[in-house]
């Protein structure tokens, strides 16, 4: 007896010799709660294993709680059987919360080997079952110790033992928790659920019925009611948690938009403790009506009816042109086809022009409704000779005209007298015209007879609108002429439907727009040519107020006789101020300045070589201009000195000579000569300047001073006079210059 007691104290071994040979237990090496068999020949469970090394001897008939209690023993024994640490400290917790955790694989009422028998106040381990007898092991009681001071016991009990026992403190019987004693991987139960259901979305969820489980993967799949897979997701995760779950927003994470009032099937899975566990397939139904059918579809927004222009090489999404009836139809899925893929192809409604030709495009709904439109595939092209312009008509009926070479800033459009513009065959499809910067005129007959044209956009380089440019465009009701437009020919808008014209150049020459007395309104500044044109041709006029001062110069005013000319040369970049806010109109202009002005008119071409004039060194602000002017025989210097004299004020006859030579050598020739005999000082014109002065007077560049009685050839030209003569010259000869066309 003493030896047995000593053995209990030192070895913490319980031996029940009456059950010799029934079973032996060997601990799992990695189990912190391991229970080892001592091989003494009896049935023994060695509980002297960390961290439970404490032992408390209790007399027969008493109970042991705490670390020597029943839950301690059950957790240790469960760990030994399953290899899973299980810090669960009551039968109630095992049964209600952890029946799928820490090696447990479910619960029930049937008595089975390797199960935990759970009461509200006790828990035991069922080691084996034979008929109506079960062998159990348990801790926390000394009632059955063969030594009288036992701690844990192994004993046989009838299966009726598993019932309520309030007398001995076990309390209400709960049931069995079954252990995975074999170590075979276990598939956990995943419970599906759904939340946040709307008519187009829902959140699906799967919850693992287990605590302390390790999750390494998750995913889901969504099907329609016919079993067609709509979407899914697979992802890797890594966490341990009680009753973990995965959830997926169908719109945001699966990229699927649900249909109202429709039933869907889903399934969620999680990889739990290395085993992929699936929920059962479950269904849900979205809110709203189950579907509003499409009654009909049609194409809208075509150039004319259901005809659309598609440029070669461009792709246009035709879904934007489909109209559904009713508009709230729920299934708007379309299939697309074309009957001439050599002209155009289609993919999911996006049409690509392949080659010039005609094709029929068909859209078809899921319930068989169809719409058909005509595709006019055209490549566009170029025209305009040596300075080509490119043109293109897009799917919305927009005629786009622009310089083929974007670096070209001043391209006048050719006239189409006796011929058709290249877009003429498409004129009934043209709804709008957009001419880009760099184009300086609209040619004769260029955009005539476009019956569905409703809008025109002109660039700030546009200078002139020529005869019949927009004639017979009866649906063009309004046009804006930017400040750059300086001339509108009489028949530019003949036989059209024009009602309003906005004229922003107060000096624009308007020959007449429609027959006199027509119901048309001109909008312009007070005192402008638009106002005088309206009065002359019996049009209505609406004032835009006083013209704003469009120069930055504080010494230039609207009522100055040279205002419009200063505005012109400033806006064209021909002349600048003497500083940022001052023009100095009465200051003389020197020879270097005028050479630079002509150089700017030519576009400031790159020069090579050096100046032939000793008084024109390199790297001066006027050096390149003088070199260029000399190389083009515009300036030759003074014969008696060989100097250029850049700082000398330029005389009126010198200015005429330089303009004359520029026209002769850089443009197309200086024609016309005037008789100067009516001027009192004609005899004072220098011999070298005589022909140039005759040309300048004939051209209207120089008109004479003092009531046109004197030429004043040797008088210095002020900056204001120079601006006036330059404007006259440019409007007469250049039509366009280095910058924008003339305001």
Closest CA to 211 of 254, 243, 187, 240: 243
Distance CA 439, CA 462 (A): 6
Closest CA to 410 of 735, 731, 663, 666: 735
Q: What is the DSSP string of 354-372?
A: -SSEEEEEEEEETTS-EEE
Tell me: the pLDDT tens digits for 367-407? 899 999 988 887 678 899 888 999 988 767 889 999 998 88
Indicate if 296-378 has the same CATH topology as 190-285.
Answer: yes
Cα distances (angstroms) measured from residue 535 to each of 482, 505, 508, 540, 585: 21, 17, 15, 8, 33
Share of the chain above pLDDT 70, in %: 85
Q: How confident is the model at residue 540 (pLDDT cuts 50, 70, 90)?
A: very high
Tell me: the pLDDT tens digits for 348-363? 999 999 988 889 999 9
- The pLDDT assigned to 151 comes to 52
Tell me: the pLDDT tens digits for 230-250? 999 999 998 878 789 999 999
Roughly what angle, to the nearest 10 degrees, separates helices 719-729 and 652-666? 30
Fold designation for 296-378? Immunoglobulin-like (2.60.40)
> Torsion over CA of 543, 544, 545 and 546, rounded to 10 degrees?
-110
**φ, ψ at 234 (rounded to 5°):** -130, 135
CB 294 within 8 A of CB 367: yes
Mean pLDDT, rounded, for 330-343: 92
- The pLDDT assigned to 24 comes to 32
Q: How confident is the model at residue 9 (pLDDT cuts 50, 70, 90)?
A: very low
The answer to whether the bond into 731 is cis (omega within 30° of 0) is no
Q: Which helix (H) or strand (E) holds 239?
A: strand 229-241
CATH class of the domain whose range is 190-285: mainly beta
- The pLDDT assigned to 140 comes to 64
Closest CA to 546 of 507, 506, 509, 508: 506
- The pLDDT assigned to 149 comes to 35
User: Is a pLDDT exceeding 80 seen at residue 555?
Assistant: yes
- The pLDDT assigned to 693 comes to 95
Closest CA to 674 of 657, 651, 691: 691
Mean pLDDT, rounded, for 416-423: 90
CATH class of the domain whose range is 381-543: alpha beta
The answer to whether the bond into 51 is cis (omega within 30° of 0) is yes
**Residue 198: how many CB atoms within 10 A of its CB?**
13
Tell me: the pLDDT tens digits for 123-163? 999 988 999 999 887 776 544 333 333 356 677 899 999 99
Q: How confident is the model at residue 696 (pLDDT cuts 50, 70, 90)?
A: very high
| pTM of the full structure | 0.46
- The pLDDT assigned to 109 comes to 92
- The pLDDT assigned to 305 comes to 62
- Cβ-based neighbours of 642, under 8 Å, separated by 6 or more: 613, 614
Q: Which helix (H) or strand (E) holds 721?
A: helix 719-729
Average pLDDT over the chain, rounded to an integer: 83
User: Is a pLDDT exceeding 70 seen at residue 22?
Assistant: no
User: Is a pLDDT exceeding 80 seen at residue 53?
Assistant: no
Distance CA 60, CA 141 (A): 9
User: Is a pLDDT exceeding 90 seen at residue 267?
Assistant: yes
For the chain, domain boundaries = 2-179, 190-285, 296-378, 381-543, 563-734
Tell me: the pLDDT tens digits for 442-471? 999 999 999 999 999 999 889 899 999 999
Mean pLDDT, rounded, for 603-615: 91
Q: What is the DSSP string of 57-125?
A: ---TT-B--GGGSHHHHHHHHHHHHHS-------HHHHHHT-TTSTTEEEEESS--SSEEEEESS-EEE
Q: How confident is the model at residue 20 (pLDDT cuts 50, 70, 90)?
A: very low
Distance CA 76, CA 273 (A): 20
Mean pLDDT, rounded, for 304-319: 83
Tell me: the pLDDT tens digits for 625-650? 999 999 999 999 998 888 999 999 99
């Amino acid at each position: 007896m003493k030896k047995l007691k000593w053995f209990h104290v030192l070895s913490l071994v319980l031996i029940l010799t009456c059950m010799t040979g029934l079973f032996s237990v060997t601990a799992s090496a990695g189990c912190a709660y391991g229970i080892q068999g001592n091989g003494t020949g009896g049935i023994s469970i060695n509980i002297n294993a960390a961290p439970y090394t404490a032992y408390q001897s209790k007399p027969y008939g008493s109970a042991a709680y705490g670390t020597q209690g029943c839950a301690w023993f059950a957790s240790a024994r469960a760990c030994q059987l399953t290899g899973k640490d299980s810090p669960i400290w009551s039968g109630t917790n095992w049964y209600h919360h952890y029946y799928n955790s820490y090696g447990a694989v479910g619960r029930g009422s049937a008595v089975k080997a390797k199960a935990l028998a759970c009461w509200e106040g006790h828990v035991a381990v069922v080691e084996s079952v034979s008929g109506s007898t079960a062998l159990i092991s348990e801790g926390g009681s000394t009632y059955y110790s063969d030594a009288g001071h036992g701690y844990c016991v192994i004993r046989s009990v009838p299966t009726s033992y598993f019932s309520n026992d309030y007398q001995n403190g076990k309390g209400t019987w709960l049931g069995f928790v079954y252990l995975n004693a074999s170590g075979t991987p276990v598939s956990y139960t995943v419970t599906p659920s759904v939340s946040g259901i709307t008519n187009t979305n829902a959140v699906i969820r799967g919850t693992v019925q287990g605590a302390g489980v390790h999750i390494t993967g998750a995913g889901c799949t969504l099907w329609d009611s016919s079993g067609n897979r709509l979407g899914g997701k697979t992802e890797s995760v890594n966490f341990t948690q009680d009753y973990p779950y995965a959830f997926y927003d169908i719109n945001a994470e699966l990229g699927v938009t649900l249909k109202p009032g429709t039933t869907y099937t889903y399934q969620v899975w999680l990889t739990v403790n290395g085993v992929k566990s699936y929920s059962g397939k479950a269904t849900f139904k979205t809110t709203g009506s189950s579907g509003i059918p499409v009654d009909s579809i049609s194409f809208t927004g075509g150039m004319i009816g259901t005809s659309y222009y598609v440029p070669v090489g461009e792709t246009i999404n035709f879904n934007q042109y489909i109209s559904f009836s009713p508009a709230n139809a729920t299934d708007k899925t379309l299939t697309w086809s074309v009957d001439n893929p050599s002209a155009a192809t289609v993919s999911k409604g996006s049409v690509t022009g392949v080659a010039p030709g005609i094709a029929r495009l068909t859209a078809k709904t899921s319930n068989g409704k169809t719409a058909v439109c005509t595709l006019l595939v055209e490549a566009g092209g170029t025209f305009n000779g040596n300075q080509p312009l490119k043109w293109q008509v897009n799917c919305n009926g927009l005629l786009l005209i622009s310089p083929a070479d974007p670096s070209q800033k001043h391209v006048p459009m050719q006239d189409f007298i006796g011929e058709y513009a290249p877009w003429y065959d498409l004129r009934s499809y043209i709804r709008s015209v957009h001419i880009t910067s760099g184009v300086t005129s609209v040619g004769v007959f260029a955009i005539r007879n476009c019956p569905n044209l409703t809008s025109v956009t002109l660039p700030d380089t546009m200078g002139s609108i020529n005869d019949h440019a927009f004639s017979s465009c009866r649906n063009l009701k309004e046009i804006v002429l930017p400040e750059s437009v300086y001339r509108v020919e009489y028949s530019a808008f003949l036989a059209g439907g024009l009602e309003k014209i906005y004229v922003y150049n107060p000096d624009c020459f308007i020959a007449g727009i429609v027959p006199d007395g027509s119901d048309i309104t001109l909008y312009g500044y007070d005192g402008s040519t638009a106002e005088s044109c309206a009065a002359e041709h019996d049009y209505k006029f609406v004032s835009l107020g006083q013209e704003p001062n469009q120069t930055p110069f504080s010494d230039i005013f609207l009522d100055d006789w040279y205002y419009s000319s200063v505005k012109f040369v400033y806006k064209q970049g021909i002349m600048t101020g003497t500083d940022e806010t001052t023009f100095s109109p009465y200051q003389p202009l020197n020879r270097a300045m005028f050479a630079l002005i002509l150089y700017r008119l030519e576009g400031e071409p790159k020069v090579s070589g050096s100046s032939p004039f000793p008084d024109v060194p390199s790297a001066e602000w006027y050096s390149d201009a003088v070199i260029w002017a000399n190389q083009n025989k515009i300036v030759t210097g003074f014969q008696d000195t060989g100097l250029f004299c850049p700082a000398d004020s330029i005389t009126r006859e010198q200015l005429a000579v330089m303009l004359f030579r520029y026209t002769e050598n850089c443009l197309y020739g200086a024609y016309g000569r005037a008789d100067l005999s009516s001027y009192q000082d004609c005899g004072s014109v220098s011999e070298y300047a005589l022909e140039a002065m005759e040309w300048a007077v004939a051209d209207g560049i120089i008109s004479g001073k003092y009531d046109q009685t004197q030429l004043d050839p040797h008088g210095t030209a002020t900056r204001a006079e120079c601006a006036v003569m330059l404007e006259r010259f440019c409007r007469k000869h250049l039509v366009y210059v280095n910058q924008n066309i003339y305001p």
